[in-house]
Structure 1
Amino acid sequence: MSEAEPDERETAAAREPGERAPVTPRGRRLAGRLVIGVLCAVLGFAATAEVRSNDRSTKFATARQDELVGILGDLSQRSERLRGDIRDLENTKAGLERDTQGQTAVEDARRRAATYGMLAGTLPAAGPGIRLTIDDPRGRLRAEDLLDTLEELRDAGAEVIQADDVRVGVSTYFADAASGGVVADGRLLTRPYVFLVIGDPHTLATALGIPGGVLQTLRNLGARGAVAQEQRIVIRAVRSP
């Protein structure tokens, strides 16, 4: 025991009740140590906070169990919200795909209707093809001659045909008129006969001009046929449905 201790006890015994004890050298040393400890604790806390903010793995490693449970619960809630967003996006995508398929089906139906309408003769048509002009100055051509011409055009790949002002269909017929000339579907055709044909121009022209073909047959009958290839043939005549 140091020599200062008896003096401190004697001073305390001599002190009257309610009187504040004077600060001793030992008290000063204890106070200094306490302040240093507090400062060390504050600096340690600040250093720990800085390290945790810069290193998440350290944060999780040093977190308490209740803190980890809270973090896990928050991640679970976020994951569930993301799953809900994914489901909503997938439903939206499926709806758009169904709508796209429906629109595609509608567009396909419209294209088919237009194609069938042109083939049936109920709709106007336009496209590349030929203009076949048949000049028959002596009137020697008969219905069968024009029918053969029509069949040759169909065999050559003609898609749409108009004979004068008559739209040719599957039920079109040619007949000799009693007063002369040729009738198509009950309408008298005028000379020169003009066939507007939509199809591949080169193929159609080649088929008509082969030896023994339509052009040679027309010459043998005293008529003359002229073929003009065109990039756009417009057929406006239509048939009643």
Structure 2
Amino acid sequence: MSEEHRETGTGWPQPAEPGRPSGPAGEPDPRPDAPDPDELSPLAPVEPAAPEQEGVPEPAEEPGASAAGAEPAPVSRRLTSAGAMIAVLLALLGFTLVVQLKTTSTDPTLAATREEDLVRISSDLDSRERRLRQDIEALEESQRQLRSGEQGRQAALEEATRRADELGILAGTLPAVGPGLSVRFEGPEKAVESERILDAVQELRGAGAEAMQIAGADGTAVRIIASTYFVDAPGGGLVVDGRRLTGPYVISVIGDPATLRTALNIPGGVVASVEEAGGNVTPVDSEAVEVSQLHAPIKLEHARPVS
């Protein structure tokens, strides 16, 4: 076996590579279609070039990625959670504002009140304002008279007498007469119990009542002052300042009739509560209501006037 057969290992001689023709003295091939000597051999395999996609940019490497292929930080997830929390807080704030506006703009008591009742309440407030203005003017006039020198002593004496009379009426030690109401309470014991009669007295006093007394069916009367108490008597009736009265009851009160009537007829007031329990309240206007029942003067044990 020849040396060429042993070199290929197949038993066939290895084909000789085609020689590159050249010109004389090793010059390049003068043929026009001669291949460039720098190019690869046409028999060498050529790797296909990757197709270029026009208009598609290459993906940029994220700044958070590492060379070892670590995952980027969850930035988008953090932004989404913060946005959701802000949206929830804004929704709660809007709901709170809406509820507050609805609560402050709506008064259930006034919304359920009839127009006639609102007119009476407004008239009551106007009457109280006029009465307070008159009191202010009277006090200012008294102050001017007391400071007027020679007439001050006489004015002071008259003012002291007037104040003593007013305090005597309030304390129940002096009788009184004037315009007002006679309010009659009748019905079952539950309708005219002590709690309802006390509510009526407080409403009348708040409306400007200057003197009051209560009388029972037998004509027994008790003067109502600041310390008067009302208790349900065993077996029916009332105990007023230690004296027992039986119904129906009549409260005589001196004051402005229109204002006193308005105080009794306010929504949910005395008249409404008594009628709801099956009773009846009948106020009657009068130009001359007499409050003649007197209260015994209170004996002071510790207090004395300062001279």
Assess same fold via TM > 0.5: yes
Name the structure where helix makes up a greater proportion of residues.
Answer: 1
1:223 corresponds to 2:274: no
1:1-241 equivalence runs, <5 A: 98=150, 100-136=151-187, 138-140=188-190, 141-164=192-215, 165-241=221-297
Give me the whole-angstrom Cα distance separating, in 2, the residues matched to 1:203 and 1:163: 19
- Partner Cα separation in structure 1 for residue 152 and residue 174 of structure 2: 27
Gaps of 5+ in 2: 1-148, 216-220, 298-307
Instruction: Map Cα deviations across residues 49-106 of structure 1 (whole Å, 9 max, x no partner).
Output: xxxxxxxxxxxxxxxxxxxxxxxxxxxxxxxxxxxxxxxxxxxxxxxx63x4322221
In 2: Cα distance, 1:146 partner to 1:208 partner: 11
Relative contact order, CA 8 A, sep 6+: which one is greater? Answer: 1
Give the unaligned 5+ runs of structure 1.
1-96
Q: In structure 1, the residue corresponding to 2:189 is in which secondary structure? A: coil
- CA offsets, 1:151-174, max 9 Å, x none? 111122211111111101111000
Name the amino acid aligned to 1:203: T
Amino acid at match of 1:239: H
Q: 1:25 aligns to what?
A: none
Residue 148 of structure 1 aligns to a residue whose secondary structure is: helix
The offset of 1:146, in angstroms, is: 1.0
How far did residue 190 of structure 1 move?
Answer: 2.4
Percentage identity across paired residues of the two chains: 45
Aligned partner letter, 2:241? D
Q: Report which of the two structures shows the higher radius of gyration computed on alpha carbons.
A: 2
Instruction: Work out the number of aligned pairs and report it.
Output: 143
Give 2:229's aligned amino acid. Y
TM-score (norm 2): 0.45
Q: What code does the residue aligned with 1:125 have? A: A
